A = this chain, B = another copy of it.
């Protein structure tokens, strides 16, 4: 408060001086949720992984209370499933989920090019630079045959797209969808697989934006998402079938199609 009223000069209005970035202390729950999300993204909590909350809480150095709160948040995002009295588990994605997620992405992402191009020139330049950086990261990862790094750059590329092309709400939604996409990768393939096409596809995105060609961007994105679904579903037979997985995956004849999502009953 004291800082607020201390104007540097009589000319700057008090209002302007007051424009400070708000202090943003993340709550413990935020921290835990971030950490869990991170663990899901980088694979240290693979789909189907069942971990007791006491153990998890100990690892994170917090009590079970905040951990449970964070779990609820991730559950609402669809990343975790909480079967009653069976701890927490990372969601296992099914081929149906893959189609579903990509259908949603296909509604949103193709439009983002148009919205980015509608921004002022200075911002557009920033966006292009940022996206270009991610593409370079992807290239480097590809050379090193590092599928993990490639996936990370992929995530950041699309996150950037959503952040610049949309609102906070959209960015949040896309962030969740992207993590779910990553989960699809984990759920569908036993190991990561370097998709060679990915880099040129994304370079083309940047090109289209640089050329201010929204139509081309849209078409490219549609094609990319289609290709990704095909990539993911091309080997549906190799889906993991570990014991840990079975813990939550629906039984072969899926008796509880609704229960799996543990959805908040908002419907």
Contact = CB atoms under 8 A, between A and B. Distances in A.
Contact of A104 (B29, B163, B169, B175): B169
8 contacts: A19-B253, A27-B84, A33-B264, A70-B72, A104-B170, A107-B111, A168-B263, A172-B261
Contact of A97 (B21, B33, B169, B264): B169
A266 B226 CA distance: 25
A96 interface: yes
Contact of A175 (B29, B69, B267): B267
5 pairs of A and B residues whose beta carbons are closest in the complex: A76-B76, A22-B256, A175-B266, A100-B167, A107-B107
Given A72-B69, A253-B15, A256-B22, A264 B34 contact: yes
Interface residues of A, number: 63
Contacts of A74: 76
B264 A77 contact: yes
Contact of A30 (B103, B104, B257, B265): B265
Given A78-B172, A104-B108, A162-B267, 12 more contacts: A22-B258, A24-B259, A29-B72, A33-B265, A34-B264, A37-B264, A65-B68, A68-B69, A72-B72, A72-B73, A168-B257, A173-B173
A25 interface: yes
B266 A37 contact: yes
Contacts of A121: none
Interface string A55-73: 0000000000100111011
A19 B252 CA distance: 12
A163 B266 contact: no
A169 B264 contact: no
A11 interface: no
Contacts of A203: none
A18 interface: yes
A20 interface: yes
Contacts of A166: 100
B266 A84 contact: no
